[in-house]
Amino acid sequence: MRIDVVSIFPEYLQALDISLIGKARREALLDVRIHDLRDHTHDRHRTVDDTPYGGGAGMVMKPGPWAEALSSIAGAESGAQHADSSRPLLLIPSPAGEVFTQAMARELSEREHLVFACGRYEGIDERVYEFAAEHYEVRPVSLGDYVLNGGEVAVLAMVEAIGRLVPGVVGNPESLVEESHSDGLLEYPVYTKPSSWEGRDVPEVLLNGNHALIARTRRAWQLELTAERRPDLIRALDPDSLNRRDRDTLWHAGFMIEDGCVVARPAD
């Protein structure tokens, strides 16, 4: 997979040299290229921003450098025109974007080419989005409902979430199956040796080697934990994915199935 990132702080993206993603890059599983937006300015001060038309606080990123950077990356693709489905995807980190989820990470991990455009200041001139749509499929994406100073930290998070799903990047693919959000639930609690530590014992069920019972118990823990911390995820479950045991666990956690949906049940 090829990933291009355009930023005025390329040093921020140095974190992508280390750990799992760094290793995947060295093994050529991921071709990550970081670009300095200022390399696409042509004035002495390498200006990337200016004051907003209409007034208001802060600065807006100028369209020129973005147009040049994005054209050169799209042009490097092959030179040819792309069919709609094969155009590279331009992801623009923004608190005003659609929320980035594990499902989106999974979908994006199957793309051949992703380009991230890191905005700073109050944002990028709106015309860049229109211009970019000629070369790219454009998708503004947000990490969640809070504000960062720029897209770089969001790109680190998204590249890690997407990159680890690319085949070969995570050594043991089984570790991608049983993890939070892989099945719409939070992960069950895990324990390691010693079995007794500071007067606290590992749950007995994990020690007796009954793997069917362990699997059932972990499933119940997942449902209970998710009901407590993320009731929104419980309500989003497909009732068809819940067996009788799951439904019983959820009943005790305060939910029931009604009209094909999981809903909070009346208190008893």
- For residues 65 and 93, which CB has a smaller minimum distance to ligand 6GU in the complex? 93
Contacts for 100 with CB less than 8 Å, ≥ 6 apart? 141, 142, 143, 154, 157, 158, 161
> Which residues, numbered 139-158, are part of the site for ligand 6GU (CB under 6 A)?
141-144, 146-148, 150-151, 154
Q: How far is the CB of 230 from ligand 6GU (least distance, A)?
A: 18
Tell me: does residue 161 bind ligand 6GU (CB under 6 A): no
> Which residues, numbered 81-100, are part of the site for ligand 6GU (CB under 6 A)?
93-95
- For residues 151 and 163, which CB has a smaller minimum distance to ligand 6GU in the complex? 151
Does the annotation place 119 within a ligand binding site?
yes
Sequence letter at residue 249: T
Of 263, 173, 192, 180, which Cα lies nearest the Cα of 221?
A: 180
SS3 152: helix
Q: How far is CA 80 from the centre of its chain?
A: 30
Q: How far is CA 24 from CA 4, 18, 30, 31, 65, in A?
A: 15, 9, 6, 9, 30
Q: How far is the CB of 214 from ligand 6GU (least distance, A)?
A: 38
- For residues 53 and 146, which CB has a smaller minimum distance to ligand 6GU in the complex? 146
Does the annotation place 148 within a ligand binding site?
yes
Contact 116, 155 (CB under 8 A): yes
Does the annotation place 146 within a ligand binding site?
yes
d(CA 158, CA 111): 14
Q: How far is the CB of 141 from ligand 6GU (least distance, A)?
A: 6
Q: How far is the CB of 155 from ligand 6GU (least distance, A)?
A: 8
Does the annotation place 143 within a ligand binding site?
yes
DSSP 8-class letter at 27: T
Contact 75, 52 (CB under 8 A): no
- For residues 117 and 227, which CB has a smaller minimum distance to ligand 6GU in the complex? 117
Q: How far is the CB of 140 from ligand 6GU (least distance, A)?
A: 8
Contact 91, 144 (CB under 8 A): no
Residues in touch with ligand 6GU (CB under 6 A) = 93-95, 141-144, 146-148, 150-151, 154
Binding residues for S-adenosyl-L-methionine: 119, 143-148
